Amino acid sequence: QLQLVESGGGLVQAGDSLRLSCAASGRNFDSYGMGWLRQAPGKEREFVAAISWSGDSTYYADSVKGRFTISRDNAKSTVYLQMDSLKPEDTAVYYCAGYVNGEVTTAKAYDYWGQGTQVTVSS
């Protein structure tokens, strides 16, 4: 199992950058693909980005492609989300999650979840 703890959220202005971190504990972090998903008030949870267990493959939602970068450091059991050129519509609670199999762009593919970190982007 994985225990996941996100950090790095906050209040920023449009155009600013943030880097989210997700520290994992438990066994075999490098056996899991990892993803970031987000949920805005009144909306369903949506896929943001994912990375394979090795880091060789990455996936992005169209809405963040070119602005966000997912990466991982298996030696530190940590996954990151670098968010640049933030927009007010990026405001949401961001969740780190781990998966083994499945369609990584859907929330149901993820077996383990963190508690989330709030990101607020003001205009």
Decide if pLDDT at 101 tops 90. Answer: no
CA dihedral 58, 62, 65, 70 (to 10 degrees): -40
Residue 56 token pair: 């060789």
* Mean local confidence (pLDDT), 46-66: 97
> What does the DSSP 8-state code read for residue 31?
G
Decide if pLDDT at 37 tops 90. Answer: yes
Decide if pLDDT at 27 tops 90. Answer: no
Q: What are phi and psi of 89, to 5 degrees?
A: -70, -5
Round to whole Å and give the CA distance between 123 and 116.
23
**Residue located via tokens 């909306």:** 43
* Mean local confidence (pLDDT), 3-19: 98
* Mean local confidence (pLDDT), 22-40: 94
Decide if pLDDT at 68 tops 90. Answer: yes
Q: What are phi and psi of 29, to 5 degrees?
A: -55, -40
Nearest residue to 101 via CA among 23, 35, 48: 35
Looking at residue 1, what is its pLDDT?
84
